[in-house]
Amino acid sequence: MSANRKPLKRSIIIGCTVFIVLLCLILSVLTYTTYTRSLYRSYEARMTDIIEYVESHIDVDDLAQCIDTGVESEKFKEMMTFMDGIMEDFDVHYLYIVKPVEYEDSYVMMNIFSADTAQGRLEDPDGYYLGMLLHDDYELKDVLLYKEAMEKDGIVFFKNVSIWGYDYTGLLTLVDSKGDRVAALGVDFDVYELQRSIRAFTIVNVALIVILGCLFMGMFLLWMNRNVSEPITRLERSVVAFASSAHDQKDPEKLKYDDPDIHTQNEVESLSNAMSQMSLDMKKYVRNILDAEGVVEDMKTKVNQMDMVVYQDALTHVKNKAWYDMTEERVNGDIQAGTARFGILMADLNNLKKINDNYGHDHGNDYITGACHHICVTYQHSPVVRVGGDEFVVILENSDYDHREELLAEIKEVFNKACSDAWKDPWEKYSCAFGMAVYEQGKDRTMEDVFKRADSIMYRDKQNSKMARQS
Protein backbone atom coordinates (compact mmCIF):
# COMPACT_ATOMS: atom_id res chain seq x y z
CA MET A 1 0.00 0.00 0.00
CA SER A 2 1.16 3.53 -0.77
CA ALA A 3 2.29 5.81 2.02
CA ASN A 4 -0.11 8.42 3.32
CA ARG A 5 0.24 11.77 1.58
CA LYS A 6 -0.93 13.58 4.71
CA PRO A 7 0.05 11.64 7.85
CA LEU A 8 -2.31 12.20 10.77
CA LYS A 9 0.47 13.20 13.17
CA ARG A 10 1.80 15.88 10.85
CA SER A 11 -1.71 17.18 10.17
CA ILE A 12 -2.38 17.45 13.91
CA ILE A 13 0.90 19.34 14.51
CA ILE A 14 0.21 21.73 11.63
CA GLY A 15 -3.39 22.21 12.74
CA CYS A 16 -2.37 22.90 16.35
CA THR A 17 0.35 25.31 15.26
CA VAL A 18 -2.02 27.25 13.01
CA PHE A 19 -4.68 27.27 15.74
CA ILE A 20 -2.25 28.53 18.41
CA VAL A 21 -0.81 31.18 16.09
CA LEU A 22 -4.29 32.43 15.20
CA LEU A 23 -5.35 32.29 18.84
CA CYS A 24 -2.29 34.24 19.95
CA LEU A 25 -2.83 36.77 17.18
CA ILE A 26 -6.51 37.25 18.01
CA LEU A 27 -5.90 37.44 21.75
CA SER A 28 -3.02 39.87 21.20
CA VAL A 29 -5.20 42.16 19.06
CA LEU A 30 -8.04 41.94 21.57
CA THR A 31 -5.66 42.62 24.46
CA TYR A 32 -4.12 45.60 22.68
CA THR A 33 -7.43 47.17 21.67
CA THR A 34 -9.09 46.47 25.01
CA TYR A 35 -6.19 47.79 27.06
CA THR A 36 -5.79 50.83 24.78
CA ARG A 37 -9.46 51.66 25.07
CA SER A 38 -9.37 51.13 28.82
CA LEU A 39 -6.23 53.22 29.28
CA TYR A 40 -7.59 56.11 27.24
CA ARG A 41 -10.82 55.97 29.21
CA SER A 42 -8.89 56.07 32.46
CA TYR A 43 -6.91 59.07 31.20
CA GLU A 44 -10.10 60.76 30.07
CA ALA A 45 -11.56 60.25 33.54
CA ARG A 46 -8.39 61.69 35.09
CA MET A 47 -8.38 64.64 32.69
CA THR A 48 -12.05 65.24 33.43
CA ASP A 49 -11.33 65.39 37.17
CA ILE A 50 -8.45 67.85 36.65
CA ILE A 51 -10.40 70.10 34.26
CA GLU A 52 -13.48 70.18 36.48
CA TYR A 53 -11.33 70.84 39.54
CA VAL A 54 -9.44 73.68 37.88
CA GLU A 55 -12.61 75.09 36.28
CA SER A 56 -14.22 75.31 39.74
CA HIS A 57 -11.44 77.70 40.84
CA ILE A 58 -11.73 80.03 37.86
CA ASP A 59 -13.85 83.21 37.88
CA VAL A 60 -14.78 83.24 34.21
CA ASP A 61 -16.23 86.77 34.31
CA ASP A 62 -12.99 88.11 35.81
CA LEU A 63 -11.03 86.09 33.27
CA ALA A 64 -13.06 87.63 30.45
CA GLN A 65 -12.28 91.13 31.73
CA CYS A 66 -8.57 90.29 31.95
CA ILE A 67 -8.63 89.05 28.37
CA ASP A 68 -10.38 92.20 27.16
CA THR A 69 -8.08 94.62 29.09
CA GLY A 70 -4.87 92.62 28.95
CA VAL A 71 -4.37 93.32 32.67
CA GLU A 72 -3.88 90.55 35.21
CA SER A 73 -6.26 90.89 38.15
CA GLU A 74 -5.70 89.53 41.63
CA LYS A 75 -8.06 86.63 40.90
CA PHE A 76 -6.11 85.99 37.71
CA LYS A 77 -2.87 85.83 39.68
CA GLU A 78 -4.47 83.51 42.24
CA MET A 79 -5.60 81.32 39.35
CA MET A 80 -2.04 81.27 37.99
CA THR A 81 -0.66 80.15 41.33
CA PHE A 82 -3.36 77.49 41.66
CA MET A 83 -2.78 76.08 38.18
CA ASP A 84 0.99 76.00 38.76
CA GLY A 85 0.26 74.01 41.91
CA ILE A 86 -1.80 71.56 39.84
CA MET A 87 1.18 71.15 37.53
CA GLU A 88 3.32 70.34 40.56
CA ASP A 89 0.83 67.88 42.06
CA PHE A 90 -0.43 66.08 38.93
CA ASP A 91 1.65 64.36 36.29
CA VAL A 92 0.33 66.23 33.26
CA HIS A 93 2.18 67.40 30.19
CA TYR A 94 0.48 70.80 29.81
CA LEU A 95 -2.23 72.75 31.61
CA TYR A 96 -3.30 75.97 29.91
CA ILE A 97 -5.99 78.42 28.88
CA VAL A 98 -6.06 79.58 25.24
CA LYS A 99 -8.41 81.26 22.82
CA PRO A 100 -8.51 81.12 18.98
CA VAL A 101 -8.87 84.70 17.64
CA GLU A 102 -9.16 86.27 14.20
CA TYR A 103 -6.03 87.80 12.83
CA GLU A 104 -5.58 89.24 9.35
CA ASP A 105 -8.46 87.26 7.77
CA SER A 106 -7.30 84.10 9.50
CA TYR A 107 -7.05 82.63 12.96
CA VAL A 108 -4.26 82.52 15.44
CA MET A 109 -3.98 81.12 18.95
CA MET A 110 -3.95 83.62 21.86
CA ASN A 111 -2.29 82.54 25.06
CA ILE A 112 -4.27 83.32 28.22
CA PHE A 113 -2.19 81.35 30.69
CA SER A 114 0.16 78.33 30.57
CA ALA A 115 0.81 76.64 33.90
CA ASP A 116 4.30 75.51 34.74
CA THR A 117 6.23 73.85 37.53
CA ALA A 118 8.52 75.75 39.88
CA GLN A 119 11.52 74.33 38.03
CA GLY A 120 10.04 75.52 34.75
CA ARG A 121 9.49 78.99 36.09
CA LEU A 122 13.10 79.21 37.20
CA GLU A 123 14.37 78.13 33.78
CA ASP A 124 12.00 80.42 31.86
CA PRO A 125 10.65 83.11 34.23
CA ASP A 126 8.97 85.16 31.48
CA GLY A 127 7.18 82.36 29.73
CA TYR A 128 4.01 83.10 27.86
CA TYR A 129 2.06 86.18 28.99
CA LEU A 130 -1.60 87.14 28.86
CA GLY A 131 -2.78 88.09 25.37
CA MET A 132 0.31 86.75 23.60
CA LEU A 133 -0.42 85.59 20.04
CA LEU A 134 1.26 82.30 19.32
CA HIS A 135 1.95 82.63 15.59
CA ASP A 136 4.64 79.99 15.39
CA ASP A 137 3.44 77.57 18.05
CA TYR A 138 0.16 76.48 16.47
CA GLU A 139 -0.53 75.68 12.85
CA LEU A 140 -3.77 76.92 11.35
CA LYS A 141 -5.27 73.43 11.31
CA ASP A 142 -4.64 73.12 15.06
CA VAL A 143 -6.16 76.53 15.74
CA LEU A 144 -9.25 75.54 13.76
CA LEU A 145 -9.36 72.28 15.69
CA TYR A 146 -9.48 74.21 18.97
CA LYS A 147 -12.04 76.65 17.54
CA GLU A 148 -14.29 73.76 16.52
CA ALA A 149 -13.91 72.17 19.97
CA MET A 150 -14.90 75.44 21.68
CA GLU A 151 -18.18 75.39 19.80
CA LYS A 152 -19.17 72.18 21.57
CA ASP A 153 -20.53 71.73 25.07
CA GLY A 154 -18.72 69.68 27.68
CA ILE A 155 -15.22 68.29 27.57
CA VAL A 156 -13.89 67.36 24.14
CA PHE A 157 -11.04 64.83 23.76
CA PHE A 158 -8.74 64.60 20.74
CA LYS A 159 -5.17 63.83 19.76
CA ASN A 160 -3.06 66.85 19.07
CA VAL A 161 0.31 67.09 17.31
CA SER A 162 2.19 70.35 17.86
CA ILE A 163 5.70 71.67 18.39
CA TRP A 164 5.42 70.53 21.99
CA GLY A 165 4.87 66.90 21.05
CA TYR A 166 2.15 64.37 20.48
CA ASP A 167 -0.52 64.86 23.17
CA TYR A 168 -3.93 63.59 24.07
CA THR A 169 -5.95 66.74 24.85
CA GLY A 170 -9.02 67.35 26.97
CA LEU A 171 -10.63 70.75 26.25
CA LEU A 172 -13.45 72.53 28.13
CA THR A 173 -14.96 75.82 26.96
CA LEU A 174 -15.15 78.47 29.69
CA VAL A 175 -18.48 80.30 29.53
CA ASP A 176 -19.14 83.54 31.46
CA SER A 177 -22.38 84.61 33.11
CA LYS A 178 -23.56 86.17 29.84
CA GLY A 179 -23.21 82.89 28.02
CA ASP A 180 -20.24 84.01 25.98
CA ARG A 181 -17.52 81.51 25.20
CA VAL A 182 -14.53 83.23 26.74
CA ALA A 183 -11.65 80.78 26.34
CA ALA A 184 -10.73 77.09 26.44
CA LEU A 185 -9.25 75.25 29.41
CA GLY A 186 -7.02 72.46 28.22
CA VAL A 187 -5.00 69.67 29.76
CA ASP A 188 -2.56 67.49 27.76
CA PHE A 189 -1.09 64.08 28.47
CA ASP A 190 1.86 62.80 26.48
CA VAL A 191 0.61 60.18 23.98
CA TYR A 192 4.07 58.67 23.76
CA GLU A 193 3.84 57.82 27.44
CA LEU A 194 0.46 56.24 26.82
CA GLN A 195 1.83 54.23 23.90
CA ARG A 196 4.84 53.08 25.90
CA SER A 197 2.51 51.87 28.62
CA ILE A 198 0.28 50.16 26.08
CA ARG A 199 3.28 48.61 24.32
CA ALA A 200 4.78 47.29 27.55
CA PHE A 201 1.47 45.84 28.66
CA THR A 202 0.84 44.30 25.25
CA ILE A 203 4.31 42.72 25.06
CA VAL A 204 3.93 41.18 28.49
CA ASN A 205 0.47 39.83 27.68
CA VAL A 206 1.44 38.56 24.23
CA ALA A 207 4.46 36.81 25.72
CA LEU A 208 2.21 35.25 28.36
CA ILE A 209 -0.32 34.21 25.72
CA VAL A 210 2.43 32.68 23.55
CA ILE A 211 3.93 30.81 26.49
CA LEU A 212 0.53 29.50 27.57
CA GLY A 213 -0.28 28.63 23.94
CA CYS A 214 2.96 26.71 23.54
CA LEU A 215 2.37 24.90 26.83
CA PHE A 216 -1.16 24.04 25.77
CA MET A 217 0.00 22.90 22.33
CA GLY A 218 2.77 20.79 23.85
CA MET A 219 0.41 19.16 26.32
CA PHE A 220 -2.24 18.67 23.64
CA LEU A 221 0.23 17.14 21.17
CA LEU A 222 1.58 14.89 23.91
CA TRP A 223 -1.93 13.74 24.76
CA MET A 224 -2.86 13.31 21.08
CA ASN A 225 0.35 11.39 20.39
CA ARG A 226 -0.26 9.06 23.32
CA ASN A 227 -4.00 8.56 22.86
CA VAL A 228 -4.68 9.05 19.14
CA SER A 229 -1.90 9.47 16.57
CA GLU A 230 0.61 6.90 17.88
CA PRO A 231 -2.05 4.21 18.54
CA ILE A 232 -3.57 4.84 15.11
CA THR A 233 -0.10 4.58 13.52
CA ARG A 234 0.48 1.22 15.23
CA LEU A 235 -3.01 0.11 14.24
CA GLU A 236 -2.37 1.14 10.63
CA ARG A 237 0.88 -0.85 10.50
CA SER A 238 -0.89 -3.94 11.80
CA VAL A 239 -3.81 -3.57 9.39
CA VAL A 240 -1.56 -2.91 6.38
CA ALA A 241 0.65 -5.89 7.24
CA PHE A 242 -2.43 -8.09 7.67
CA ALA A 243 -3.92 -6.87 4.37
CA SER A 244 -0.64 -7.56 2.54
CA SER A 245 -0.30 -11.07 3.96
CA ALA A 246 -3.98 -11.85 3.40
CA HIS A 247 -3.93 -10.93 -0.31
CA ASP A 248 -4.72 -14.09 -2.34
CA GLN A 249 -4.04 -16.15 0.77
CA LYS A 250 -5.93 -19.43 0.91
CA ASP A 251 -4.30 -20.89 3.98
CA PRO A 252 -6.30 -19.65 6.99
CA GLU A 253 -3.44 -20.51 9.34
CA LYS A 254 -1.28 -17.87 7.62
CA LEU A 255 -3.87 -15.13 8.18
CA LYS A 256 -2.12 -13.73 11.23
CA TYR A 257 -3.00 -10.29 12.62
CA ASP A 258 -0.37 -8.62 14.81
CA ASP A 259 -2.44 -7.04 17.60
CA PRO A 260 -0.93 -3.56 18.34
CA ASP A 261 -2.03 -3.92 22.01
CA ILE A 262 -3.74 -0.52 22.33
CA HIS A 263 -5.15 0.51 25.72
CA THR A 264 -6.26 4.12 25.23
CA GLN A 265 -9.75 3.52 26.67
CA ASN A 266 -11.32 5.48 23.83
CA GLU A 267 -12.60 4.93 20.28
CA VAL A 268 -9.12 3.97 19.04
CA GLU A 269 -9.01 1.03 21.45
CA SER A 270 -12.53 0.02 20.35
CA LEU A 271 -11.41 0.18 16.71
CA SER A 272 -8.32 -1.92 17.50
CA ASN A 273 -10.43 -4.52 19.29
CA ALA A 274 -12.86 -4.56 16.36
CA MET A 275 -9.97 -5.13 13.92
CA SER A 276 -8.66 -8.00 16.05
CA GLN A 277 -12.10 -9.59 16.15
CA MET A 278 -12.56 -9.00 12.43
CA SER A 279 -9.26 -10.77 11.68
CA LEU A 280 -10.45 -13.78 13.70
CA ASP A 281 -13.79 -13.70 11.89
CA MET A 282 -12.01 -13.51 8.52
CA LYS A 283 -9.83 -16.45 9.44
CA LYS A 284 -12.91 -18.44 10.43
CA TYR A 285 -14.72 -17.29 7.30
CA VAL A 286 -11.84 -18.38 5.02
CA ARG A 287 -11.69 -21.71 6.80
CA ASN A 288 -15.43 -22.17 6.28
CA ILE A 289 -15.10 -21.22 2.60
CA LEU A 290 -12.29 -23.71 2.11
CA ASP A 291 -14.35 -26.36 3.87
CA ALA A 292 -17.29 -25.50 1.65
CA GLU A 293 -15.06 -25.68 -1.44
CA GLY A 294 -13.89 -29.09 -0.31
CA VAL A 295 -17.48 -30.21 0.09
CA VAL A 296 -18.31 -28.85 -3.36
CA GLU A 297 -15.31 -30.61 -4.90
CA ASP A 298 -16.36 -33.84 -3.21
CA MET A 299 -19.87 -33.37 -4.54
CA LYS A 300 -18.52 -32.67 -8.03
CA THR A 301 -16.41 -35.82 -7.86
CA LYS A 302 -19.40 -37.81 -6.73
CA VAL A 303 -21.54 -36.28 -9.46
CA ASN A 304 -18.88 -37.12 -12.04
CA GLN A 305 -18.71 -40.61 -10.68
CA MET A 306 -22.49 -40.84 -10.83
CA ASP A 307 -22.41 -39.54 -14.41
CA MET A 308 -19.88 -42.26 -15.25
CA VAL A 309 -22.13 -44.88 -13.70
CA VAL A 310 -25.35 -43.54 -15.22
CA TYR A 311 -24.12 -42.58 -18.70
CA GLN A 312 -21.17 -44.98 -19.26
CA ASP A 313 -21.29 -48.50 -20.59
CA ALA A 314 -19.81 -50.83 -17.99
CA LEU A 315 -18.05 -53.10 -20.50
CA THR A 316 -16.64 -50.77 -23.16
CA HIS A 317 -16.59 -47.52 -21.10
CA VAL A 318 -18.17 -45.56 -23.95
CA LYS A 319 -21.50 -43.76 -23.66
CA ASN A 320 -24.61 -45.85 -23.07
CA LYS A 321 -28.24 -45.78 -24.22
CA ALA A 322 -29.25 -43.39 -21.37
CA TRP A 323 -26.70 -40.83 -22.57
CA TYR A 324 -27.94 -41.29 -26.14
CA ASP A 325 -31.51 -40.56 -25.09
CA MET A 326 -30.39 -37.39 -23.24
CA THR A 327 -28.35 -36.26 -26.25
CA GLU A 328 -31.29 -36.90 -28.53
CA GLU A 329 -33.31 -34.27 -26.64
CA ARG A 330 -30.53 -31.70 -27.10
CA VAL A 331 -30.12 -32.46 -30.80
CA ASN A 332 -33.89 -32.25 -31.36
CA GLY A 333 -33.73 -28.79 -29.76
CA ASP A 334 -31.01 -27.81 -32.23
CA ILE A 335 -33.17 -29.10 -35.07
CA GLN A 336 -36.08 -26.95 -33.90
CA ALA A 337 -33.75 -23.92 -33.65
CA GLY A 338 -32.35 -24.56 -37.13
CA THR A 339 -28.75 -24.96 -35.92
CA ALA A 340 -28.41 -28.76 -36.21
CA ARG A 341 -25.42 -30.16 -38.13
CA PHE A 342 -24.64 -33.85 -37.54
CA GLY A 343 -24.62 -37.38 -38.91
CA ILE A 344 -25.17 -40.87 -37.47
CA LEU A 345 -23.06 -43.95 -38.07
CA MET A 346 -24.68 -47.28 -37.13
CA ALA A 347 -22.35 -50.23 -36.43
CA ASP A 348 -23.68 -53.75 -35.81
CA LEU A 349 -21.21 -56.55 -34.96
CA ASN A 350 -21.38 -59.79 -36.91
CA ASN A 351 -20.81 -63.28 -35.47
CA LEU A 352 -21.17 -62.29 -31.75
CA LYS A 353 -23.54 -65.19 -31.04
CA LYS A 354 -21.14 -67.63 -32.74
CA ILE A 355 -18.23 -66.39 -30.59
CA ASN A 356 -20.28 -66.66 -27.39
CA ASP A 357 -21.49 -70.18 -28.25
CA ASN A 358 -18.14 -71.57 -29.35
CA TYR A 359 -15.64 -69.73 -27.16
CA GLY A 360 -17.60 -68.46 -24.18
CA HIS A 361 -18.94 -65.09 -23.10
CA ASP A 362 -15.55 -63.85 -21.88
CA HIS A 363 -14.19 -64.00 -25.40
CA GLY A 364 -17.48 -62.59 -26.57
CA ASN A 365 -16.80 -59.58 -24.36
CA ASP A 366 -13.27 -59.42 -25.79
CA TYR A 367 -14.83 -59.37 -29.25
CA ILE A 368 -17.12 -56.44 -28.27
CA THR A 369 -14.42 -54.34 -26.57
CA GLY A 370 -11.90 -54.92 -29.39
CA ALA A 371 -14.37 -53.85 -32.05
CA CYS A 372 -15.37 -50.82 -29.94
CA HIS A 373 -11.72 -49.84 -29.63
CA HIS A 374 -11.28 -49.69 -33.41
CA ILE A 375 -14.40 -47.54 -33.73
CA CYS A 376 -13.21 -45.13 -31.03
CA VAL A 377 -9.73 -44.82 -32.57
CA THR A 378 -11.18 -43.99 -35.98
CA TYR A 379 -13.80 -41.53 -34.70
CA GLN A 380 -11.72 -39.60 -32.16
CA HIS A 381 -13.75 -36.38 -32.37
CA SER A 382 -17.24 -37.83 -32.00
CA PRO A 383 -19.05 -39.60 -29.15
CA VAL A 384 -19.38 -43.39 -29.50
CA VAL A 385 -22.48 -44.96 -27.90
CA ARG A 386 -23.28 -48.62 -27.21
CA VAL A 387 -27.04 -48.80 -27.73
CA GLY A 388 -27.35 -52.63 -27.65
CA GLY A 389 -25.41 -55.82 -27.03
CA ASP A 390 -23.66 -55.70 -30.39
CA GLU A 391 -24.83 -52.31 -31.70
CA PHE A 392 -22.91 -49.02 -31.62
CA VAL A 393 -23.85 -45.50 -32.71
CA VAL A 394 -21.41 -42.74 -33.58
CA ILE A 395 -22.85 -39.21 -33.57
CA LEU A 396 -20.71 -37.52 -36.22
CA GLU A 397 -19.66 -33.98 -35.18
CA ASN A 398 -16.89 -31.46 -35.81
CA SER A 399 -14.09 -32.64 -38.12
CA ASP A 400 -15.44 -36.23 -38.12
CA TYR A 401 -18.60 -34.87 -39.73
CA ASP A 402 -16.58 -32.99 -42.35
CA HIS A 403 -14.53 -36.15 -43.21
CA ARG A 404 -17.29 -38.69 -42.74
CA GLU A 405 -16.86 -40.43 -46.09
CA GLU A 406 -13.10 -40.89 -45.62
CA LEU A 407 -13.61 -42.17 -42.07
CA LEU A 408 -16.32 -44.61 -43.19
CA ALA A 409 -13.98 -46.07 -45.78
CA GLU A 410 -11.21 -46.19 -43.19
CA ILE A 411 -13.27 -48.07 -40.55
CA LYS A 412 -14.49 -50.57 -43.11
CA GLU A 413 -10.89 -51.21 -44.16
CA VAL A 414 -9.85 -51.70 -40.50
CA PHE A 415 -12.55 -54.33 -39.94
CA ASN A 416 -11.91 -56.08 -43.27
CA LYS A 417 -8.24 -56.50 -42.38
CA ALA A 418 -9.04 -57.81 -38.90
CA CYS A 419 -11.61 -60.25 -40.25
CA SER A 420 -9.32 -61.66 -42.97
CA ASP A 421 -6.20 -61.99 -40.78
CA ALA A 422 -5.58 -65.77 -40.49
CA TRP A 423 -3.12 -65.33 -37.62
CA LYS A 424 -5.68 -63.80 -35.27
CA ASP A 425 -7.89 -65.68 -32.84
CA PRO A 426 -11.53 -65.99 -33.81
CA TRP A 427 -12.59 -63.40 -31.22
CA GLU A 428 -10.06 -60.94 -32.74
CA LYS A 429 -11.40 -61.29 -36.28
CA TYR A 430 -13.83 -58.36 -36.00
CA SER A 431 -16.66 -58.10 -38.48
CA CYS A 432 -19.22 -55.30 -38.58
CA ALA A 433 -21.99 -53.88 -40.75
CA PHE A 434 -22.14 -50.09 -41.14
CA GLY A 435 -24.79 -47.56 -42.09
CA MET A 436 -24.33 -43.78 -42.21
CA ALA A 437 -26.92 -41.02 -42.64
CA VAL A 438 -26.65 -37.22 -42.48
CA TYR A 439 -29.22 -34.77 -41.11
CA GLU A 440 -31.07 -32.99 -43.92
CA GLN A 441 -32.82 -29.75 -42.96
CA GLY A 442 -36.44 -29.71 -44.08
CA LYS A 443 -36.55 -33.48 -44.45
CA ASP A 444 -35.64 -34.72 -40.96
CA ARG A 445 -37.89 -33.50 -38.13
CA THR A 446 -36.10 -35.39 -35.35
CA MET A 447 -32.85 -37.22 -34.68
CA GLU A 448 -34.84 -40.46 -34.87
CA ASP A 449 -35.43 -39.85 -38.58
CA VAL A 450 -31.69 -39.75 -39.22
CA PHE A 451 -31.17 -42.79 -36.97
CA LYS A 452 -33.74 -44.84 -38.93
CA ARG A 453 -32.08 -44.06 -42.26
CA ALA A 454 -28.68 -45.04 -40.89
CA ASP A 455 -30.14 -48.21 -39.39
CA SER A 456 -31.79 -49.11 -42.72
CA ILE A 457 -28.51 -48.62 -44.58
CA MET A 458 -26.69 -50.71 -41.96
CA TYR A 459 -29.29 -53.48 -42.34
CA ARG A 460 -28.76 -53.63 -46.10
CA ASP A 461 -25.00 -53.71 -45.53
CA LYS A 462 -25.50 -56.65 -43.16
CA GLN A 463 -27.63 -58.53 -45.69
CA ASN A 464 -25.14 -57.93 -48.43
CA SER A 465 -22.36 -59.24 -46.18
CA LYS A 466 -24.30 -62.50 -45.49
CA MET A 467 -24.96 -63.04 -49.18
CA ALA A 468 -21.32 -62.54 -49.92
CA ARG A 469 -20.26 -65.11 -47.37
CA GLN A 470 -22.83 -67.70 -48.66
CA SER A 471 -21.70 -67.35 -52.21
**Residue 412, domain CATH:** 3.30.70.270
User: At residue 6, does pLDDT exceed 70?
Assistant: no
> Quick one: 328 and 382 in the same domain?
yes
Average pLDDT over residues 365-377: 94
> Quick one: 326 and 462 in the same domain?
yes
User: At residue 1, does pLDDT exceed 50?
Assistant: no
Domain boundary among 296, 311, 332: 296
Ramachandran angles phi, psi of 129, nearest 5°? -110, 170
> Quick one: 256 and 377 in the same domain?
no
Q: Cα torsion at 371, 373, 374, 376 (round to 10°)? A: 130
User: At residue 459, does pLDDT exceed 60?
Assistant: yes
| C-alpha triplet 161, 165, 171: angle, nearest 5° | 60
Which one has a higher pLDDT value, 383 or 193?
383
Is 366 among the domain residues?
yes
> Quick one: 342 and 457 in the same domain?
yes
Q: Tell me, what's the pLDDT at 466?
A: 80
Q: CA-CA distance, 15 to 279, in Å (whole number)? A: 34
> Quick one: 108 and 147 in the same domain?
yes
How confident is the prediction for the chain on average, in pLDDT? 84
Residue in 63, 87, 64, 65 with CA at minimum distance from that of residue 77: 63
Is 230 among the domain residues?
no
Mean pLDDT lowest among 38-42, 221-225, 342-346, 367-371:
221-225
Is 389 among the domain residues?
yes
Which one has a higher pLDDT value, 122 or 371?
371
Mean pLDDT lowest among 76-90, 97-111, 216-230, 285-299:
285-299
pLDDT tens, residue by residue, 235-286: 777 777 777 776 666 666 666 767 777 777 777 777 777 777 777 777 677 6
DSSP H or E stretch at residue 267 = helix 267-311
> Quick one: 451 and 357 in the same domain?
yes
> Quick one: 253 and 380 in the same domain?
no
> Quick one: 355 and 258 in the same domain?
no
User: At residue 385, does pLDDT exceed 70?
Assistant: yes
Q: CA-CA distance, 289 to 345, in Å (whole number)? A: 47
Q: Tell me, what's the pLDDT at 212?
A: 83
Task: Indicate the number of domains in the chain.
Answer: 3
Which one has a higher pLDDT value, 205 or 359?
359
User: At residue 96, does pLDDT exceed 60?
Assistant: yes
Domain boundary among 142, 165, 191: 191
User: The pTM is what?
Assistant: 0.47
- pLDDT confidence bin for 48, thresholds 50/70/90: very high
Reduce the DSSP state of residue 132 to 3 states and report it.
strand
Q: CA-CA distance, 151 to 68, in Å (whole number)? A: 20
Is 81 among the domain residues?
yes
> Quick one: 291 and 328 in the same domain?
no
Q: Are 187 and 114 in contact (CB under 8 A)?
A: no
> Quick one: 278 and 337 in the same domain?
no
Q: CA-CA distance, 307 to 301, in Å (whole number)? A: 10
User: At residue 297, does pLDDT exceed 60?
Assistant: yes
Q: Tell me, what's the pLDDT at 255?
A: 64
> Quick one: 261 and 151 in the same domain?
no
User: At residue 301, does pLDDT exceed 90?
Assistant: no
Domain boundary among 144, 174, 191: 191
Is 290 among the domain residues?
yes
DSSP H or E stretch at residue 102 = strand 94-102
Q: Tell me, what's the pLDDT at 4?
A: 57
Is 225 among the domain residues?
no
User: At residue 323, does pLDDT exceed 90?
Assistant: yes
Average pLDDT over residues 330-338: 92
Is 55 among the domain residues?
no
> Quick one: 119 and 85 in the same domain?
yes
CATH of the domain at 83: 3.30.450
CB count within 10 Å of CB 71 equals 11
Q: Tell me, what's the pLDDT at 121?
A: 72
User: At residue 441, does pLDDT exceed 80?
Assistant: yes
Average pLDDT over residues 348-376: 93
Task: Look up the domain containing 370 and give its range.
Answer: 321-470
User: At residue 366, does pLDDT exceed 50?
Assistant: yes
Is 32 among the domain residues?
no
